[in-house]
Structure 1
Amino acid sequence: MTITQLQYVLAVAEHHNFTLAAEKSFVTQPTLSMQIQKLEEELGVQVFDRTKKPIQLTEVGKKIVEQARNIVNESHRIKDIVDQQKGFVGGEFKLGIIPTITPTLLPMFLKNFVNKYPKINLKIEEQTTETIIQNLHEGHLDAAIAATPLGNDNIKERVLYYEPFVAYLPQGHELNKKEKLNIEDINTDELLLLEDGHCFRNSVINLCKNKNKLKDEKFFLETGSFETMIKLTDEGLGMTLLPYLHTLDIKGEQRKQLRFFEEPSPAREVSLIYHKSELKLHIIDALRDVIASVIRGAIAFHNVQIISPMPDKKAS
């Protein structure tokens, strides 16, 4: 049994196709097939059911793949140990970020991080929380920045900051008379939400459900971006909730339409997350330190009520 054989098994398990797995592994299809067959002969079991299209794992194959993933990851840890011993902070690092965080946080830390750690080849992908969790589990991402808590035992979470929800109201709305809002002030019939698939949407839904304000989950309109919701609010088509960092780009007269909530403010918890078996912890530490240094001056809210991005969950 070799590490290479286990890597080939993982490739086929991911792509459900020997030819595609061989392409992704940069070997010929006969070479990959032969190595997997040797492994199956040594173990005395079939890892893959080749009679099915696409190719599927056998029941014992599923267990073998889980163990293979652990072994391959642990083998990579040797280089990680050597890099840390040498004080080398570099190499490829794949980072996922959810769409509602990318436009505000990424410009704040990316230049600083690249300048401080020029030997790190940082590859950033914007992904949904669901996709991020799957890719962390499968080893396609080294870490991610997402709203937490996720309640996943396999995912480690290191909090970066707490970001309050801020209401954005149309001009002339009766709530503009109030200096600060309560959750009970929000009329869900007027609420503009991000379209399904965004965890910020889920947090808002959880917030409303927790206050018994949401009955049939019928909303006036669902859209794809905060910018669109702001414009629709300006047209008097409803009101919306925004993450605090996004409100920093709102200027002039529009700022008068923003309203904070009474403390403890409803907020999302934003964390740097990674799989519990992640190898590149020295890079994760470096990334967290850079983000913490730039975010500290922009956001410092502590008296908050954390609203979970996961369906039907609330943490405080």
Structure 2
Amino acid sequence: MTITQLQYVLAVAEHKNFTLAADKSFVTQPTLSMQIQKLEEELGVLIFDRSKKPIQLTDVGTKIVEQAKNIVNESYRIKDIVDQQKGYIGGEFKLGIIPTVMPTLLPMFLKNFIKKYPKINLKIEEQNTETIINNLLDGHLDAAIAATPLQNENIKERPLYYEPFVAYIPNGHRLSQNKKIESKDLDIGDILLLEDGHCFTDGVINLCKANKHFNDEHFQLQSGSFETMVKLANEGLGMTLLPYLHTLDLSESEKQNLHYFEEPNPAREISLLFHKNELKLHIIEALRDVISGVIRGAITFQNVQIISPVKSA
């Protein structure tokens, strides 16, 4: 049994196709098939049911794949140990970022990070929170940036900053004359929300659930971006809540429609996430230092109340 054979098994399990798995593994399909067959012969079991399309794992194959993930991931960590020992900060590093953080945070730190750590091959992918958690647990990501707390015992969270919620209330809205607002002022019925799947939406809902008038049936409209919600609010279709960093790019006239909350400001906690067994801690720490350095001057709110991004019952 070899690490390479286990890698081929994982590739087929992921892509459910021998040809595609071989292509992704940069080997010929006969080579990949032969190695998997050798492993099956050694173990005396079939890992894959080849009679089904797409290819399916057998019952014992499912258990083998779970163990293979652990073995392959641990084998990768040997190089991480050596790199740490040598003080080498480089190599491939896969980072996931949630969609409501990516467009504002990434331009703030990426150029600085690349300049400071040119030997790190940073691969960044926009993913929702659920996908990030799964990929961290499966070893497909080295770290991620997302709203927390997520309360997953296998994932560590290192807070980066606390980003307040800011209300965008156009003229003519019932709250437009309020200099500052409170969560009890909110009515979910006239708040424009991001579409389902965004943890920021769940945070807004959790904030509004403190309001006794909350009712799930009041949802009127959901959109895919903050920019669209601002435009819809300008058309008189309601108000919306924005993360603070998104308000910095608004036009001067639109900034006149921003209303801050009474202290403590409701806010989301944005953290750097990584698996509890992650060994690329030297790169994670480097990433955290760079982000903390650029964000320190951008968000100065002190008295905040953290709103959970986890959908409440």
User: Common fold, TM-score beyond 0.5?
Assistant: yes
Q: CA RMSD in A?
A: 1.7
- Pair 1:172-2:172 in alignment: yes
Q: 1:181 — aligned with what? A: 181
Once residues 44 and 303 of structure 2 are traced to their aligned partners in structure 1, the CA distance between those partners, rounded to angstroms, is 59
Once residues 97 and 163 of structure 1 are traced to their aligned partners in structure 2, the CA distance between those partners, rounded to angstroms, is 15
Q: 1:103 — aligned with what? A: 103
Deviations 1:239-258, CA, capped at 9 Å, x for gaps: 00000111122342332321
Once residues 242 and 127 of structure 1 are traced to their aligned partners in structure 2, the CA distance between those partners, rounded to angstroms, is 19
Deviations 1:42-88, CA, capped at 9 Å, x for gaps: 22222222232222222222222122111111111111111112221
The gaps in structure 1 that reach 5 residues or longer are: none
Shift of 1:230: 1.3
Q: 1:47 — aligned with what? A: 47
Once residues 35 and 211 of structure 1 are traced to their aligned partners in structure 2, the CA distance between those partners, rounded to angstroms, is 60
Once residues 176 and 21 of structure 1 are traced to their aligned partners in structure 2, the CA distance between those partners, rounded to angstroms, is 57
SS of equivalent residue, structure 2 residue 180:
coil
Do 2:159 and 2:270's aligned partners in 1 also have CA atoms closer than 8 Å?
A: yes
Deviations 1:17-46, CA, capped at 9 Å, x for gaps: 112111111112221122112222222222
Query: Which stretch of the first structure deviates more once superposed, 46-55 or 103-112?
Result: 46-55
Q: 2:61 — aligned with what? A: 61
Once residues 310 and 58 of structure 2 are traced to their aligned partners in structure 1, the CA distance between those partners, rounded to angstroms, is 32
Percent identity reads 75
TM-score by length of 1: 0.93
Shift of 1:203: 1.3
Q: 2:261 — aligned with what? A: 261
Do 2:187 and 2:214's aligned partners in 1 also have CA atoms closer than 8 Å?
A: no
5 Å-filtered alignment, 1:217-228, equals 217-228=217-228
Give the counterpart letter for 2:38 in structure 1.
K
Shift of 1:184: 1.3
Query: Which stretch of the first structure deviates more once superposed, 179-188 or 42-51?
Result: 42-51
Shift of 1:302: 4.1
Do 1:162 and 1:268's aligned partners in 2 also have CA atoms closer than 8 Å?
A: yes
Q: 1:310 — aligned with what? A: 310
Once residues 53 and 281 of structure 2 are traced to their aligned partners in structure 1, the CA distance between those partners, rounded to angstroms, is 39
Q: 2:292 — aligned with what? A: 292
Once residues 150 and 272 of structure 1 are traced to their aligned partners in structure 2, the CA distance between those partners, rounded to angstroms, is 12
Aligned residue pairs total: 313
SS of equivalent residue, structure 1 residue 176:
coil
Once residues 210 and 32 of structure 1 are traced to their aligned partners in structure 2, the CA distance between those partners, rounded to angstroms, is 56
Deviations 1:120-140, CA, capped at 9 Å, x for gaps: 111211121122222223322
Deviations 1:276-299, CA, capped at 9 Å, x for gaps: 233322111110111011111111
Deviations 1:166-213, CA, capped at 9 Å, x for gaps: 101011334233222111111222111112222111211222224333
The gaps in structure 2 that reach 5 residues or longer are: none
Once residues 277 and 58 of structure 1 are traced to their aligned partners in structure 2, the CA distance between those partners, rounded to angstroms, is 29
Do 1:162 and 1:300's aligned partners in 2 also have CA atoms closer than 8 Å?
A: no
CA distance 1:52–1:118, change in 2 (3 Å): same
Q: 2:22 — aligned with what? A: 22
